[in-house]
Structure 1
Amino acid sequence: MSRYRGPRLRLCRRLGDLPGLTRKISKKQTSPGEHGNKNKKPSEYAVRLEEKQKLRFNYGLNEKQLLRYIKTAKKVQGSTGSVLLQLLEMRLDNTVFRLGMAPTIPAARQLVNHGHICINNKTVSIASYQCKPGDIITVKPQANSQNLVTKYLMFPGLANIPSHLELDSKKLVGKVNGVIDREWVALQLNELLVVEYYSRK
């Protein structure tokens, strides 16, 4: 999968705060590039594109994956934007991040890919696995897995764990109690503009 490997703060300066991508905060206030201070009003297309890019880079998706999530969300009854955010928030890598077991979503994805995380006592190494209410997320009993997650839990990426999750930090066990509510989504985003962006293509 083609992943963004460039400077993360550059993206945050351009798109705004991306809590899933990095914990660093840039001291520079302007947008990146030679003409970062320009006050030109963006077009409607540019605004939609920016919202789509926020979603992509925060959750670490490529264009093809995001398009697939949009198509799935359109088939589900209810607001397409809200369903899309629920699908992305219930991904395993994001759930591990929101539990505080990893400082960022890329770090959570690495934990999952390297086989440190189990769901219902079965090792799952697919970051895009959709967590369901009732799933129990545990860390492998091996010492290196336990030490790694314990170290991450000392400095969680976000201050609060969402209401649909619960964590026993001593046993390193997390539980999914339901589907996330819109107000618990950490990313500042207008998801309707993302849906509009794809509906006009």
Structure 2
Amino acid sequence: MARYTGPITKKSRRLKMDLVGGDKNFELRPFPPGQHGRRRIQEKEYLTQLQEKQRARFTYGVMEKQFVRYYKEAARRPGKTGENLLQILETRLDNVVYRAGLARTRRHARQLVTHGHFEVNGVRVDVPSYRVEQYDIITVRKQSVETFPFELARQTFGERPIPAWMQVVPGSLQVLIHQLPVRAQIDSQLTEQLIVELYSKN
């Protein structure tokens, strides 16, 4: 599956949002790249909405076509489309691995999933976009438990808050999905309504 592999700090600066988490280069220069980056730009409504969609895409590492599919699925579901969209993004396996503290960044989580380090309900899954469900159990495969990334995960467990919709057992590197996340349980700076407004024009 295609994914963005370009310079992430430059993308963070353009979108005015730290897409990595703890990006020191972004913290030093949080304004858009270019000679006139510091100049305040009068953004039109469409540009603001488009920028929010791009923030969501690059935060979760999702390509455009897949993001559109997620939006259409969110719109078909009952409830608020924007909140449904965030729930879909949050329940991707790579995001769950990141939220559980088993990877430093979502990019790192995606790499770990792709390399086949995880099982869901006892079955090996190596697809980052795999969607977890309520009561799913995600575990690190026995062959991978003693490798460096997971030794580090045990040592650093607790440095990031764990979302209320999951439970993590650091000793066994096991994640239990209590429920699908609701908006109040999703730690995100995104304004999902702007994305809904963007797509509703089409």
Is it true that 1:39 corresponds to 2:40 in the alignment?
yes
1:125 matched to which residue of 2? 126
User: Is the Cα–Cα contact under 8 Å of residues 164 and 177 in structure 1 kept in the other structure?
Assistant: yes
In the TM superposition, what are the counterparts of 1:174-193 in structure 2 within 5 Å?
174-193=175-194
Shift of 1:154: 3.3
Q: Distance between the aligned counterparts of 1:2 and 1:136, measured in 2? A: 27
2:22 matched to which residue of 1? 23
Shift of 1:156: 6.1
Q: Distance between the aligned counterparts of 1:63 and 1:75, measured in 2? A: 19
**CA RMSD for the aligned pairs?**
1.9
- How many residues of Structure 1 are paired with residues of Structure 2 in the alignment? 200
For 2:139, what is the secondary structure of its paired residue? strand
Shift of 1:159: 1.7
* 1:111-158, Cα deviation, whole Å (9 max, x unpaired): 111110001111011111110110111001015664422213434697
* Residue identity in the other structure for 1:5: T
With structure 1 as the length reference, what TM-score do the two structures score?
Answer: 0.92
Is it true that 1:116 corresponds to 2:103 in the alignment?
no
User: Is the Cα–Cα contact under 8 Å of residues 99 and 163 in structure 2 kept in the other structure?
Assistant: yes
* Residue identity in the other structure for 1:169: P
Is it true that 1:7 corresponds to 2:7 in the alignment?
yes
Structure 1 spans left out of the alignment, 5+ residues: none
Shift of 1:3: 2.2
* Residue identity in the other structure for 1:197: L
In the TM superposition, what are the counterparts of 1:46-61 in structure 2 within 5 Å?
46-61=47-62
Structure 2 spans left out of the alignment, 5+ residues: none
Q: Which runs of 4+ in 1 moved over 6 A?
A: none
Q: Distance between the aligned counterparts of 2:62 and 2:109, measured in 1? A: 14
With structure 2 as the length reference, what TM-score do the two structures score?
Answer: 0.91
In the TM superposition, what are the counterparts of 1:70-149 in structure 2 within 5 Å?
70-143=71-144, 146-149=147-150
Q: Distance between the aligned counterparts of 2:151 and 2:102, measured in 1? A: 8
* 1:52-85, Cα deviation, whole Å (9 max, x unpaired): 0000000000100000001101110000000000
